[in-house]
Amino acid sequence: MGAYESIQNGRNGPALRVALVYMYTGFILFLLMGLLGLLMRMLHAELLRLPPQWYYRLMTLHGAGMVAAALLAAMGGGIAATSNRLTHDLRWLWTAYILYFVGVGLVPLAVLFGGFAAGWTIIYPLGVAYASGWTAWSTFAFLLGYLLVALGFAAYCIAMLQAVLRRYGSLSRALGWPVISGRAQPGEDVPYLQEVVATVVGICGLIAVLAGAAALVPYFAHNLNLTGLVDPLFVKEMIFLFGHTAVNLNIYLAAGLAYASLPAYTGRPWKTTPLSALGVNLVMIFVFLPYFHHLYQDFAQPVFLSAIGQFGSYGVGVPALLITVFGGLTLAYRSGMRWAVPTILTFVGFWGWVFGGIGAVVDSTIAVNQVFHNTLWVPAHFHTYYLLGAVALTWAYLYHLATELSGRHESRTSRLAAWLYGIGGAGFVMMFFTAGAAGQPRRFAVSIPSTGEQTWAFLATLFVLVLALGLLWLTYDLVTRLGPAWARARGRA
């Protein structure tokens, strides 16, 4: 159950080529969006000067683009990690990619040329507040970009559900319910843990996309003058139900990549056990609950929903901690694990997920949230579990995939580069936490002198440069591996 199999086994060449396109496209977008993040830190450090409206444009594009980049790369990893045992419908996967790519392209068009600067959350009615400096067409382009990205993700979810149903015949078997109940017979074909993750993401992803559509429809209607004002709390609910859920599903997709690759370095299988399958299944409940902690300040919200947000935020970390982090540590313990770029980045990912999760739990506590909600503590926790959690796990798998397909060995310099990514990233997010605890507001174009933000932003900039140094070397490795990896994948068709 869940033993590691080389990604070169089986006739999986076409799916691997699609996976490489997804992952490398996501990686390139990540680099571009990272540059925007560096510019924002330099603006707060007053190393650069730009008009405030450009800061908000950068913030909008960076927030939307970075999430889209990381999710796309993780989606590609999910294809590769399941390609040995599942038969993927390439038409659905390419349709998903095209929709997603066109949608991602519309976002910078709206921001850079149309001046759209409402932030990735597009809180109503800010998104249609044209007096703020953008026009109706830029709002329409941004919303259309979001819609196409959501439809692309939905097509991907459909493709993954089709693939698991084709092999296992039912969602219950694909979710590992016979394993959880103890009814699985010896020798029965049970899903690998990364396949259970793919099934969970497919189901939850479609629900999240429906929520996103429910938010975008009134936005489009308002933008086209088909309706008057809409309920802003309803739009905010649906935006966060979609956005927060998609970000969390990205993390679980990345965890599935660790389930697929870490056994190659420990020599031990990551088994689908009743506990591990149950933990992944619980995601279908917990992933929809924490977003309420972003609405504590909306006092029209019923109190019981705020309580759900607090306790849901506490509970969502339990499966992650027990199944992924403890499971990975147990897998590595006394295994003689070979330290390589993928294992270094994987354990950086575990650290980032835990540390960022702690920051999220602190902020999701209602009494604390009243103080921290609109400070840099919020971007601190999500940068930690994203940059040093989901993204680190995704790049670990990408490096593993490209290295195994290309047959090229890594160098000591590459391993050093992976450590630089972790060290630079940790220092970068700690400056966010420090500034947030000092009271620096988030989404401000200027730093507040009393919080010391200028100093924290300057130090953050230095740490970003450390991260960038490591990332540049890893980028070189990935670029030089792409050609041989593509050729090997082509040869497996």
Calpha distance 458→452 (Å, rounded): 10
Single pTM value for the model = 0.94
* Structure token pair of residue 476: 């070189």
Q: Pick one of 2.60.40.2480, 1.10.357.10, 3.20.20.150, 1.20.210.10 as the CATH number of 13-487.
A: 1.20.210.10
Rounded average pLDDT per 10-residue block, the chain, 493 residues: 52 87 97 96 94 93 95 97 94 97 96 91 77 81 94 97 96 96 86 96 96 87 75 88 92 95 93 93 91 89 90 84 89 91 96 92 92 92 93 97 91 94 97 95 90 94 96 96 88 55
Residue 12 has φ and ψ, to the nearest 5°, of: -115, 15
Beta strands in 208-352 (DSSP E): none
The 10 Å Cβ neighbour count of residue 424 is: 23
What residue ranges do the domains of the chain occupy? 13-487
At 80 the pLDDT is 95
Tokens of 131: 């007096």
**CA distance to 216, 222, 223, 473, per residue, from 232 (Å):** 12, 12, 14, 46
- For residues 69 and 398, the answer to whether their CB atoms sit within 8 Å is no
The kind and range of the H/E element at 468 are helix 453-491
CA angle 6, 284, 121 (to 5 degrees): 100
Contact 454, 438 (CB under 8 A): no
Number of neighbouring beta carbons within 10 Å of residue 484: 15
**Ramachandran angles phi, psi of 405, nearest 5°:** -70, -40
In 395-416, which positions are buried (b, 16+ CB within 10 angstroms) versus exposed (e)?
A: bbbbbbbbbbbbeeebeeebee
Please tell me the predicted confidence (pLDDT) of residue 2. 43
The pair of structure tokens assigned to 487 is 């050729």
CA distance 107 to 174: 36
> What residues have CB less than 8 Å from 331, skipping those under 6 apart?
262, 263, 266, 268, 270
Which residues lie closer than 8 Å to 51 by C-beta, 6 or more apart?
A: none
Distance from C-alpha of 27 to C-alpha of 398, rounded to nearest angstrom: 9
Per-residue model confidence (pLDDT) at position 126: 78
Residue 256's CB is within 10 A of a number of other CB atoms, namely 28
pLDDT of the residue at 5: 60
Residue 224 burial (C-beta neighbours within 10 Å; 0-12, 13-18, 19+): exposed
C-beta of residue 253 within 8 angstroms of C-beta of residue 77? yes
> In terms of Cα–Cα distance, which of 249, 69, 244 is closest to 149?
69
Q: Who contacts 387 (Cβ-Cβ below 8 Å, separation ≥6)? A: 352, 425, 428, 429
